[in-house]
Amino acid sequence: MGKVCVVGASGKLGRYMVGHLLDRGHEVVGVCRERSVPKLAAYADRITIVPGPTNDREVIGKAVAGCDGVLTVLVPWGVRQYSSGTAQAVLDHAEPGARLVFSCGWHITKDGRDRYSWWFRAVLRLATVVGRLLRAVEVDDQVEACRRIFASDRRWTVVRGSDLEEGESQGLPVWSRHVGDPILASNLTRRIDFALFMVEALDDDALVHEAPAIVGRLAPSARAH
Ligand SMILES: NC(=O)c1ccc[n+]([C@@H]2O[C@H](COP(=O)([O-])OP(=O)(O)OC[C@H]3O[C@@H](n4cnc5c(N)ncnc54)[C@H](OP(=O)(O)O)[C@@H]3O)[C@@H](O)[C@H]2O)c1
């Protein structure tokens, strides 16, 4: 794997991914909003930055050209289908055969076999309604983005993150197919390790067409199982 594009490179997860990719010797292209370019200052002389909204098809087309892998941060900000627009642009424009890895939260299910607590479902419903009323977030659109990815015959992986915390790396998180599996119970991952999982997934063919839910490898539930 040579050249890799990070879509949403200026965010917290995005910057960790850029760091991991550079450590591994990859050529890196980063896409971020124009106003967020300064957040990548530490890497500016080592990566190519393509400024623009991540759901802009022209921006994505330019950024992913020639890339063997694309790491995409899916976020549901605003009420203009930012997440599904971003996913669709990547699915449509990435090179044939490119490895595509997307990030999202645990609330998204691939096969309906995840088991969520009533509390989690209630909070999610509330967030969906309030987010839309405030025109701030479109939780449903991240679900739509993933639906399109799951339906695609691209070489995709959707990495589903637990709650996140900052801190030093604990190594590669462990994963399971379904929320509710005992190994995931601790529901906490270091953000730097979420990024590590995304980057390592590029070379892990066993993760193609999977939606792994991850948890920190030193989390109590991971140690216990
Ligand atoms: N935070 C959590 O606890 C958590 C838990 C599970 C999974 N995840 C997943 O992890 C991924 C990233 O999480 P993170 O905590 O690292 O997030 P983050 O640092 O806040 O990054 C989020 C991304 O959203 C962009 N963004 C922020 N406001 C925006 C707006 N108004 N319009 C368009 N883009 C905007 C940021 O770009 P700019 O740099 O341009 O602002 C950045 O690329 C997401 O896929 C999320 O679903 C997060």
Whole-Å CA distances, 7 to 126, 130, 139 = 28, 27, 19
Phi, psi of 200 (to 5 degrees): -65, -30
Q: What is the pLDDT of residues 39-82, one digit of tens each?
A: 999 999 999 999 999 999 999 999 999 999 999 999 988 878 99
Q: Is the pLDDT of residue 196 over 90?
A: yes
Instruction: Output the domain CATH number for residue 44.
Output: 3.40.50.720
The atom of ligand 1 lying closest to the CA of 164 is 3
Q: Whose CA is nearest to atom 1 of ligand 1?
A: 164
CB-CB contact of 95 with 64 (8 Å) = yes
Q: What is the pLDDT of residues 103-120, one digit of tens each?
A: 999 899 999 999 999 999
Residue 77, pLDDT score: 86
Whole-Å CA distances, 56 to 62, 92, 93 = 10, 12, 11
Among the residue ranges 21-25, 82-86, 131-135, 170-174, the one predicted with the least confidence is 131-135
Q: Report how far ligand 1's centroid is from the alpha carbon of 62 (Å).
A: 22
Rounded Cα distance, 124 and 82, in Å: 19
Ligand 1 proximity of 30 Cβ (cutoff 6 Å): no
CB-CB contact of 170 with 216 (8 Å) = yes
Residue 185, pLDDT score: 96
Whole-Å CA distances, 94 to 1, 25, 43, 191 = 14, 21, 23, 26
Nearest to 200 by CA among 109, 66, 64, 101: 101
CB-CB contact of 165 with 188 (8 Å) = yes
pLDDT band for position 212 (50/70/90)? very high
Q: Is the pLDDT of residue 206 over 90?
A: yes
Q: Whose CA is nearest to atom 46 of ligand 1?
A: 104
Give burial (CB, 10 Å; 0-12/13-18/19+) of 173: buried
Residue 171, pLDDT score: 98
The atom of ligand 1 lying closest to the CA of 194 is 10
Residue 3, pLDDT score: 98
Mean pLDDT of the chain: 96
Q: What is the pLDDT of residues 115-164, one digit of tens each?
A: 999 999 999 999 999 998 988 888 899 999 999 999 999 999 999 999 99
Q: 């792994």: which residue's tokens?
A: 212
Whole-Å CA distances, 176 to 18, 71, 225 = 25, 20, 11
The length of the chain is 225
pLDDT band for position 90 (50/70/90)? very high
Residue 79, pLDDT score: 77
Residue 7, pLDDT score: 98
Query: What domain range includes position 137?
Result: 3-224
Q: Which residues pair with 31 in a beta bridge?
A: 7, 50
Q: Which residues pair with 132 in a beta bridge?
A: none
Q: How many domains does the chain have?
A: 1
Q: Which residues pair with 190 in a beta bridge?
A: 165
Residue 80, pLDDT score: 84
Ligand 1 proximity of 79 Cβ (cutoff 6 Å): no
Residue 137, pLDDT score: 86
Rounded Cα distance, 137 and 223, in Å: 35
pLDDT band for position 173 (50/70/90)? very high
The atom of ligand 1 lying closest to the CA of 32 is 40
The atom of ligand 1 lying closest to the CA of 162 is 6
Beta strand 3-7 pairing with 27-32: parallel
